[in-house]
Amino acid sequence: MHTLELSRRYTLVTGASSGLGLEMARMIARDHHGNLVLVARRLDRLEALAEELQKAHKVDVVCIQADMTKREDVTRTFEEATAGRVINAAILNAGVTYFGRGLDHDFEHFEQMLATNVTSVVWLTQKFAHHILEKSPSGGVMIVSSLAGTTPTPYQAAYSGTKAFLNNFGMAFAEELVDEPVSLTVFVPGGISTEMGDKSGLSRKFKKGDVGMMDVDVCARRALEGFIARERFVVPGALNVFNDFILRFAPRAFAAAMAARIYRDALPPKE
């Protein structure tokens, strides 16, 4: 298959109100003159971004307010996105994390994480893959995962588990599609300076400019490069690529212990 074409076609981006999703949306509009369907919970932010991109780049931007923890919202996202238009590319970027001791992780929050990070992604991947095969052969889907899914990550145990699922699900699904006119890319970033780090508390230790922390625009650019080139598994940044390679040969208990040492210092003090 030739490279993925985004120009004047519709790309859906979930989690588009901030961070990596927002930057990818900007780049699709600015650098590729692509139309967008933006999805997130915060409609005011989506509408502000849509106005910015429409004025600056003369592209069509559709906003869908949806919560990926709610099955009805996930279903409605697909229905509204494909109503009267063809989605050529889908970037499934919405995700949530929990940083802290696993013993303290509220189970209701875990269920919401599972719905956002796993269930909604699987459902939308299947639906958009079918849609692209039928309506826009040669399109593609990208799942945004994490390096936390390649290494057991203490203090992000549940998050690490959801991303391990995405890494394996995405790579296996991509192989199933190898002879079909649709591609599936798994994007696997490490630390990024985004709002998620501030909300989770990770930014107490991992700050913008630190070694291993990528700027969100650099990360977004690599994500889109890999997506357009139809790479299956994309790890951005030379240091991340090196660490991912080395840790594949390390005993899993050793890798988990090393990760624990790195993350432990960022924990809030016990009450």
Helices (H), 142-251: 157-176, 195-200, 216-228, 238-247
User: What whole-number distance in Å separates Cα of residue 250 and Cα of residue 48?
Assistant: 46
Q: Give me the sheet containing 10-14, strands edge to edge.
A: 61-65, 35-40, 10-14, 87-92, 139-144, 182-187, 233-234
- From residue 234, alpha-carbon distances to 12, 18, 49, 125, 160 in Å are 19, 21, 26, 17, 17
Mapping DSSP to helix (H, G, I), strand (E, B) and coil, where does residue 43 land? Answer: helix
Pair of tokens at residue 79 = 């229905």
In this structure, are residues 85 and 59 in contact, taking their beta carbons and an 8 Å threshold?
Answer: no
* From 10, 98, 155, 159, active-site residue: 159
Residues with Cβ within 8 Å of residue 83, at least 6 apart in sequence: none
Active-site annotation holds for 263 = no
Query: What are the residue numbers of the active site?
Result: 159
